């Protein structure tokens, strides 16, 4: 490539022309799309932007902003992931302004510069050579020294003093929640995953959320009590929704997975022998694949009964149950089998209404078209050799996944079709992964919330006693 030469971040200057940079992507944010009506960005068409953080040596990393059509930006975002080794060719190199207020919203980097890639004028491509291996270790190198680390105990003790500051943490993942689809009040949809972390300084865990699709993808491979994270610039701030000061993953936060430092190994060892923790938030549900505790109906019942004496705290645990379905209300006339909720404010939409009627909600007060979602709200009974669990709940996405149809599709099914669907499941044996919630003062019975169910193919061949309950004596 004539006129283009290889540069390193350490020697890059503002205004450098025709450079080629090689390095690894260590962070990637969600693309943003701007409406064509915004005159600042528009040349008649829609414009989109995507930012990532790029590193070419232990000491050198920089923020890159890519501008282009929505198509171009989405394709870049999908192709070039965290961990991709890429070449950035002919980008625009600019100085960062000191005290730029936008620094609040971008990762802290070592380079005094920033890079802009404009579609058509510059290029990003994979670096497909042997040299790639040289860059891969940079992904595991923390982006700051360990000197600035705060312990969780210190953070929790001093949370109000730390308000509006950014802090660095080294933590072990203790819980990984399911990915949730969230629709904001203005109708935009997001993905979000809750996870929890601990360190050796306290028994307490803290709950964090991932909003970047790329990190949601990567966290699928995290393992409770094994994966260590270095969080550079986690934010301490007041949360209007939770009405308290909390730690959160902000747009500035850089995550290093299993950082290649001794402290990470020490941290994992320190946590390893802790008993398995349930999430501190009863509304956060684990990925079903992370539920490993196999129990019988009898054991579930015993655990519920043991927990209901003494403490005020609600009993909560997760279990795998191998059981068959004895009752499933898919063919019933139950008016609550399908629920309609407002997508924006999440309130129930009454049967004879077409919106939530909530005057604080754009759908309810008529300032926009009603946007309703239909969800399953199925009840079923399970049975194993030791007893019955009556009134288990199977709702939302989990139900759609199991039945292989959406609630909206189910809504249009005729009675015979519903009956047929029901008989596909009735009396078959399943691997059922569930959340069990003990009774409270206001809800007097236990809740069995089914998160995932898959056919247990070998159930006919194997005695239940052999596989699930070696403790039982007959
Ligand atoms: Zn609403």
Cα 354 to middle of ligand 1, angstroms: 10
Cα 191 to middle of ligand 1, angstroms: 20
Cα 396 to middle of ligand 1, angstroms: 18
Close Cβ partners of 265 (under 8 Å, ≥ 6 residues apart): none
What are the beta bridge partners of residue 382? Answer: 325, 389
pLDDT at position 316 is 86
pLDDT at position 467 is 40
Q: How far apart are CA 215 and CA 409, in angstroms?
A: 32
pLDDT tens digits along 281-309: 666 788 888 888 999 999 999 999 887 55
Cα 462 to middle of ligand 1, angstroms: 50
Cα 343 to middle of ligand 1, angstroms: 7
Average pLDDT over residues 353-369: 87
Average pLDDT, the chain: 88
pLDDT tens digits along 137-183: 999 999 999 999 999 999 999 999 999 999 999 999 998 988 888 88
Cα 357 to middle of ligand 1, angstroms: 7
Cα 185 to middle of ligand 1, angstroms: 8
pLDDT at position 367 is 85
Whether 320 shows a pLDDT value over 50: the answer reads yes
Pairing of strands 60-68, 113-118: parallel
If we measure between CA atoms, which residue out of 26, 19, 260, 46 comes closest to residue 116? Answer: 19
pLDDT band at 278 (very low <50, low <70, confident <90, very high): low
> Do residues 88 and 124 touch, judged by C-beta distance below 8 A?
yes
pLDDT at position 310 is 52
Q: Which residues surround ligand 1, an ion (CB under 5 A)?
A: 342, 344-345, 356, 358, 361, 363-364
Cα 217 to middle of ligand 1, angstroms: 30
Cα 342 to middle of ligand 1, angstroms: 5
If we measure between CA atoms, which residue out of 311, 323, 262, 278 comes closest to residue 454? Answer: 323
Cα 369 to middle of ligand 1, angstroms: 10
> Do residues 175 and 277 touch, judged by C-beta distance below 8 A?
yes
Q: How far apart are CA 385 and CA 424, in angstroms?
A: 21
Cα 241 to middle of ligand 1, angstroms: 18
Task: Report in angstroms the alpha-carbon separations of 329 from 377, 382, 394, 421, 471.
Answer: 10, 12, 11, 11, 34
Show the domains of the chain with their CATH numbers: 5-134 (2.40.50.140), 146-272 (2.40.50.140), 291-342+372-468 (2.40.50.140)
Cα 362 to middle of ligand 1, angstroms: 7
Cα 449 to middle of ligand 1, angstroms: 25
Cα 292 to middle of ligand 1, angstroms: 38
Cα 121 to middle of ligand 1, angstroms: 45
pLDDT band at 472 (very low <50, low <70, confident <90, very high): very low
Residue reference for tokens 């210190």: 154
Cα 242 to middle of ligand 1, angstroms: 21
Cα 188 to middle of ligand 1, angstroms: 14
Average pLDDT over residues 253-258: 97
């Amino acid at each position: 490539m004539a006129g283009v030469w290889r540069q390193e971040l350490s020697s890059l200057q503002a205004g450098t022309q025709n450079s080629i940079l090689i390095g690894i992507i260590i962070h990637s944010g969600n693309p943003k799309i701007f409406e064509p009506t915004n005159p600042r960005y528009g040349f008649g068409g829609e414009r989109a932007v995507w930012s990532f953080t790029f590193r070419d040596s232990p000491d050198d990393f920089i923020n890159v902003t890519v501008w282009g059509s929505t198509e171009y930006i989405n394709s870049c975002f999908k192709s070039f992931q965290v961990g991709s080794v890429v070449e950035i060719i002919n980008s625009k190199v600019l100085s960062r302004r000191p005290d730029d207020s936008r620094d609040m919203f971008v990762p802290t980097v070592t380079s005094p510069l920033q890079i802009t890639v404009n579609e058509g004028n510059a290029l990003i491509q994979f670096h497909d050579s042997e040299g790639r291996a040289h860059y891969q270790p940079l992904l595991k190198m923390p982006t700051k020294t360990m000197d600035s680390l705060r312990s969780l105990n210190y953070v929790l003790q001093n949370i109000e003093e730390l308000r509006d500051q950014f802090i660095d943490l080294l933590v072990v993942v203790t819980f990984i929640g399911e990915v949730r689809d969230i629709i904001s009040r203005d109708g935009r949809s997001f993905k979000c995953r809750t996870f929890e972390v601990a360190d050796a300084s306290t028994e307490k865990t803290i709950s964090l959320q991932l909003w970047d699709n790329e990190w949601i993808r990567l966290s699928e491979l995290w393992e409770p009590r094994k994966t260590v994270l270095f969080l550079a610039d986690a934010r301490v701030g007041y949360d209007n929704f939770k009405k308290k000061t909390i730690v959160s993953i902000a747009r500035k936060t850089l995550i290093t997975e299993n950082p290649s430092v001794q402290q990470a190994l020490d941290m994992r060892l320190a946590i390893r022998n802790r008993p398995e923790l349930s999430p501190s938030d009863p509304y956060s549900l684990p990925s079903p694949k992370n539920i490993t505790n196999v129990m019988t109906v009898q054991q579930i019942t015993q655990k519920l009964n043991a927990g209901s004496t003494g403490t005020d705290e609600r009993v909560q645990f997760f279990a795998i149950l191998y059981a068959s379905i004895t009752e499933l209300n898919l063919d019933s006339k139950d008016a609550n089998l399908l629920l309609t909720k407002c997508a924006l404010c999440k309130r129930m939409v009454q049967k004879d209404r077409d919106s939530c009627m909530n005057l604080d909600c754009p759908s309810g007060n008529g300032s926009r078209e009603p946007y309703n979602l239909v969800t399953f709200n199925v009840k079923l009974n399970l049975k194993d050799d030791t007893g019955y669990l009556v009134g288990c709940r199977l709702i939302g996405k989990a139900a759609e996944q199991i039945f292989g149809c959406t609630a909206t599709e189910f809504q249009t099914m005729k009675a015979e079709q519903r009956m047929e669907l029901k008989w596909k499941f009735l009396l078959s044996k399943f691997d059922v992964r569930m959340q069990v919630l003990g009774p409270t003062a206001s809800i007097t019975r236990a809740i069995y919330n089914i998160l995932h169910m898959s056919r247990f193919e070998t159930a006919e061949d194997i005695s239940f006693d052999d596989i699930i309950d070696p403790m039982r004596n007959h």
